[in-house]
Amino acid sequence: MKLNELTAHEILKEISEKRITPAEVYRALREVIKAREPKVHAYAHADDAAIAFDEKNLGKIPVPIAIKDNICIKDYPTTCASHILEGFRPPYDATVIKKLREAGLVFLGHANMDEFAFGSSTESSFFGVTRNPWNLECVPGGSSGGSVAAVAANETIWALGSDTGGSIRQPASFCGVVGLKPAYGRVSRYGLIAFASSLDQIGPITKDVEDCALLLNLIAGHDEMDSTSANLPVPDFTKSLTKNVAGLKIAIPKEYFVEGIDPEVKKSIFEAIELLKSKGASFKEISMPHTEYAVATYYILATAEASSNLARFDGVQYGLRVQPSKLRQTPIIDLYEETRDQGFGAEAKRRIMLGTYSLSSGYYDAYYLKAQKVRTLIKQDFDEAFKSFDAIMTPTAPTTAFKIGEKTSDPLSMYLSDIYTISVNLAGVPAISIPCGFAKNGLPIGLQIIGKPFDEEMLFRIAHTYEQATDWHKKRVNL
């Protein structure tokens, strides 16, 4: 039995029956991290004594976890994988970190990510590229690629990521693990360094659906520190793991199966549909006509919010400060410009400029305001579908993982990697990606299930039913 390959619920059972100890699990993971990190590079910061194992302060769930590098951990390097935040150590814990501490989880470190979550491949990190554990020549997806790769490579038991346009689900699909974007407002964003505040959501990344439900139990709930946090009861999500989909009505949007989808991905999705049909669920094709506008809408709104959120990084308050070599304007303006020029990477600069442009005088109405109106139409597509159906099922991504470097010179092609996940964030609904097969190239394929607002229970019910009838989630990489 390899401790690092176990799920959280398996570890908790082994600990409760006194066959293993939390310290043994932690040590096993540290050894695996040491051996595999040179190949995978899942972590941005994983060797700081500030959050080392403390056997005296273990709680009910002493299971090691990796945290995406944009979620604040008090006094621990939190950099969003950006040079501009180099050396920054937050003076407080994010609400999700506080909740995990109370539950007794053990922190392994901050996982690598695309800089400020700007990307779909984890190639834009200041700390270097993260690799897909199933094929080290391929990307793990992004922007939560480090968190997902750490789970897939068994360098952690589970992880937290953030999802702005598919940043948990797309890499989960590429790496063959479970990734959930909860409904907007289900999990507090306090302490999450913002990319696009109306779209961002923290969520769990795990080896199976049961762990995903358990981790969501720990982090969900209203938070007075977050004005967008929903003041709603939080159910016990583990009670949704019933293996029963009889009578459920599931929609299949035809817009998600158009030209560009890999035939092997399409085949795996329809095999999953047939399996769930055999369990009593019914399926019907529908149209969600505004889906085609989702990518354009997202990249106007997300970059606009990013340009606003990143204005705070100026060399004065946080992280990097670059003193200008010569005076060109005023000392403070030169400081801002030098710091931002050296501190931000190419993709961050690209998105800041795009967002600033769409918010500028003369273009606000033509771009930003119009995008907000189209966002409403996209949400109405979901509202209409959920009048008749319990859930919606689609591929998570149109292809399996692509090669490192394949799309870095073509930003538009990179942006299209999230074409099946973006609409979910625009509508604010929950969605989960689960493994549903492997392509001939040996890379995983993901199935996306989308639910009604705050109906994560339905997602777990369907996902668990499918998972228990297959073995995809049991496969482990050999590194």
Q: How many CB atoms lie within 10 A of CB 414?
A: 22
C-alpha distances in angstroms, 265 versus 253, 361, 398, 417? 15, 44, 7, 14
CA-to-CA distance for 467 and 436, rounded, in angstroms? 8
User: What pLDDT, on the 0 to 100 scale, is given for residue 49?
Assistant: 54
pLDDT of residue 326: 79
Complete domains list, the chain, with CATH: 3-250+387-474 (3.90.1300.10)
Q: What's the pLDDT score for residue 411?
A: 73
Q: What is the pLDDT of residues 244-286, one digit of tens each?
A: 999 999 999 999 998 889 999 999 999 999 999 999 999 999 9
267 in active site: no
Single out the catalytic residue among 125, 143, 144, 188.
143
**Known catalytic membership, residue 147:** no
- pLDDT value, residue 402: 95
Q: How confident is the model at residue 331, as a pLDDT?
A: 85
Catalytic residue among 120, 124, 125, 167: 167
Token pair in block for residue 230: 């929903």
Is 68 in the active site?
yes
CA distance 444 to 33: 22
pLDDT, one tens digit per residue, over 30-39 is 999 999 999 9
Across 218-245, b (16+ Cβ under 10 Å) vs e yields bbbbebeebeebbeeebbebbebbeeeb
Query: What confidence score (pLDDT) does residue 129 get?
Result: 98
Determine whether 468 is exposed, middle or buried from the number of CB atoms within 10 Å of its CB (0-12, 13-18, 19+): middle
Structure tokens at 17: 């029956």
Residues of the chain scoring pLDDT < 70? 47-52, 412, 415
What pLDDT does residue 330 have?
85
Cα gap 479→2, rounded to integer Å: 13
Q: Are 44 and 127 in contact (CB under 8 A)?
A: yes
